Amino acid sequence: MNRKMAVIKSTLLFDSYFEKLDDWLFYRITGLPPRKSVLSEEEQKPRNDIVMEEIAGHLHTRQGAGNQAYIDIFNVVDQKASAMLTHISVMIAANALLLGIKTPPWLNIFSVILLVLFIFLALLSLRLLRFWTNHFPGADAGERPSADIENEITISFQEETFYRGRLYRFTLNVTTLLTTFSAVLMFVYMFFMDF
């Protein structure tokens, strides 16, 4: 039986272009054809099986009532890490701008060191924003006893919460320290600037 999916037609500017681009990216990243291009149920079943296998761990982790507290913690850490990443990005830009000022080379070396350290902190902040952990149960989760799965999920949430908490505090402390050094360095740059 061939049938087409109902697709909402949009008349917004560039929407059709972005939909085509999104379909192309979906195919390149997942290896699966976009859903609207799969016409028959025979083609949809294997595609849906692959999708469900991939997201099985996501679904299992959200079934337990006790898991909501962990998800809430992850949301808070995500918000804080996003704000910190914004600050780090500004500090990267500020230190990069300082390199454009004609000053002694030793001063530029400090800016480059701070620039590299802030880039490292940006990578740590991106890890804080990671949606998933490798320790959550995968595709075989539905085939094992639910008590084992719940225990595995709880331990995974506990370890990931512990890790993210420690990583957030470390990143925040180092960011605060490097921001202080950057502020001092900016004042030092002002003494060497030609007005």
Per-residue pLDDT tens for 163-173?
888 899 999 99
Residue with tokens 């075989």: 140
Instruction: Please answer whether residues 125 and 88 qualify as being in contact, where contact means their C-beta atoms are separated by less than 8 angstroms.
Output: yes
Q: The tokens of 92 are what?
A: 């990267």
92: confidence class by pLDDT, cuts 50, 70, 90? very high
The C-alpha atoms of residue 195 and residue 192 are separated, in whole angstroms, by: 9
The C-alpha atoms of residue 1 and residue 59 are separated, in whole angstroms, by: 30
Per-residue pLDDT tens for 119-135?
999 999 998 887 665 55
The sign one gets for the Cα dihedral 26, 32, 49, 149 is negative
Predicted model pTM? 0.67
